[in-house]
Amino acid sequence: MRGLVEVRSITTNDVADFAASLRSESVFGGALSAASAARTVVSVRGFHRFALLESLTLIDPSCDVQPPSTSRRLPKALDYVDVERLISCAGDLDSPIGLRDHALLELLYGTGARISEAITLDVDDIDLTNRTVTVVGKGDKQRKLPLGDYAARAIDAYLIRGRSMFAVTGRGTSRVFLNTRGAPLSRQSAWSVLKSSAERAELDAKVSPHTLRHSFATHLLEGGADVRVVQELLGHSSVTTTQIYTLVTADTLKQVYLTSHPRAL
């Protein structure tokens, strides 16, 4: 404790020392994580900006103190073989539920759509003739995505032999993916579809609703797709968000190099 009682008495060194202390084992009985320390420093900077605006101090001693950098978490992606296993375990293709689940997973991996974008699709959003699907992403921004052959065939089969069976029990909805009562499939139910398929496929990796989206982006970049094209497909407002996938690809390239080049090791 430094005995500072007035905001105007705080110096840049005081703020910098406080920021450094957040990562010390002596603070609150243990060091804060980089993310928690960064949030704390951001809050301190906000307080000092407020104090300056309110004329409680003549300078902002925190403006040159940067939050600690946090490591970027690499998105988890499945190998293509595991994606095939996951989709193949979606269910019985002779049943409406199996057709629906198969179509949902093919759509998620085939387009990179978010789970929320998939479950809010309307029938008119799908153009099987031109092999496109129109999704509504964050900020209500629409984007038209290409449908691959696998996804198009799975969706076509579901619309003809699966959705029609669900629709007769409901009150009428234009949503593509329905539950057994004919109502729109919820996010929780869509997550259960993914979880159940992963369990039947006996995948070691933890599979989340975003896993197929991550796999979609990673596999495109590994196949040579331009990062800005992937950005458009994913609906990212900034290419910086998409570039995290290039880190995954770079790691893959390194592994291939180490195992393939005669003088790598």
By residue count, the chain amounts to 265
**Nearest residue to 78 via CA among 240, 230, 208:** 208
Residues 58 and 89 in one domain: no
**114 noted as active-site residue:** yes
Number of Cβ within a 10 Å radius of residue 137: 16
**213 noted as active-site residue:** yes
Residues 142 and 18 in one domain: no
Domain span including residue 99? 80-255
Residues 106 and 166 in one domain: yes
The answer to whether residue 8 is domain-embedded is yes
Catalytic-role residue among 100, 163, 213, 219: 213
Catalytic-role residue among 114, 163, 175, 219: 114
**138 noted as active-site residue:** yes
Residues 178 and 60 in one domain: no
Residues 5 and 100 in one domain: no
- End-to-end Cα distance, the chain: 53
The residue type found at 73 is R
- pLDDT tens, N- to C-terminus, the chain (265 residues): 566 778 888 999 888 888 888 877 555 556 777 778 888 888 999 999 998 898 888 899 998 888 877 655 666 889 999 999 999 999 899 999 999 999 999 999 999 999 999 999 999 999 999 999 999 998 889 999 999 999 999 999 999 999 999 999 888 899 999 999 999 999 999 999 999 999 999 997 788 888 999 999 999 998 889 999 999 999 998 888 888 887 767 777 777 778 777 777 6
Instruction: Indicate yes or no: pTM above 0.75.
Output: no
Q: Is 2 helix (H, G, I), strand (E, B) or coil?
A: coil
Catalytic-role residue among 2, 49, 138, 254: 138
